[in-house]
């Protein structure tokens, strides 16, 4: 499913970040990036900042992502499915348990997801800026409901 709010409504250990101006859900949103490819992570960070987001990470391993998630406030996450040869699903499970929406990013489409996460939003790599913006807005607006 493309661009649907992942994770669904729910409360989080960390509330949505304050400081949003003009009601824009992306303004100052804390976006957690889990990506092991430096160039891809840097490009994603640039795009997120141009949308007004604050970037958390990137985390380049599943264990690093879980450690950061335990201490960093996060509003939404963009998760590469394959991180250093390991599937990112434990991070997705931790986000889901906290009610934090997330988007999977992969060049392989939804076929790379397991059954448990098959209905989660998938962002195709390489990222298209408008698709990234749309997916983030949908995820954050779904969380506010």
pLDDT tens-digit profile of 36-69? 999 999 999 999 999 999 999 999 999 999 999 9
- The three-class DSSP label of residue 71 is helix
Tally: H helices and E strands in the chain: 4, 7
What backbone torsions phi and psi does residue 122 show, to the nearest 5 degrees? -125, 130
pTM: predicted TM-score of the whole model, two decimal places: 0.79
Task: Assess if CATH 3.40.50.2300 describes domain 30-144.
Answer: yes
pLDDT tens-digit profile of 74-113? 999 999 999 999 999 999 999 999 999 999 888 766 555 5
What does the pLDDT read at residue 118? Answer: 53
Using left for φ > 0, alpha for ψ between -120 and 50, and beta otherwise, residue 8 falls in left
């Amino acid at each position: 499913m493309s661009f649907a709010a992942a994770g669904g409504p729910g409360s989080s250990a960390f509330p949505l970040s304050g400081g949003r101006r003009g009601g824009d859900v992306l303004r100052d949103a804390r976006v957690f990036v889990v990506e092991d490819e430096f160039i891809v992570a840097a490009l994603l960070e640039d795009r997120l900042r141009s949308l007004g987001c604050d970037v958390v990470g990137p985390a380049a391993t599943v264990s690093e992502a879980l450690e950061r998630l335990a201490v960093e406030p996060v509003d939404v996450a963009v998760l590469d499915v394959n991180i250093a040869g390991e599937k990112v699903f434990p991070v997705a499970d931790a986000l889901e348990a906290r009610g934090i929406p997330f988007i999977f990013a992969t060049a392989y489409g939804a076929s790379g997801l397991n059954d448990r996460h098959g209905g989660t939003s998938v962002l195709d790599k390489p990222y298209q800026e408008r698709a990234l913006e749309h997916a983030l807005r949908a995820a954050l607006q779904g969380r506010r409901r």
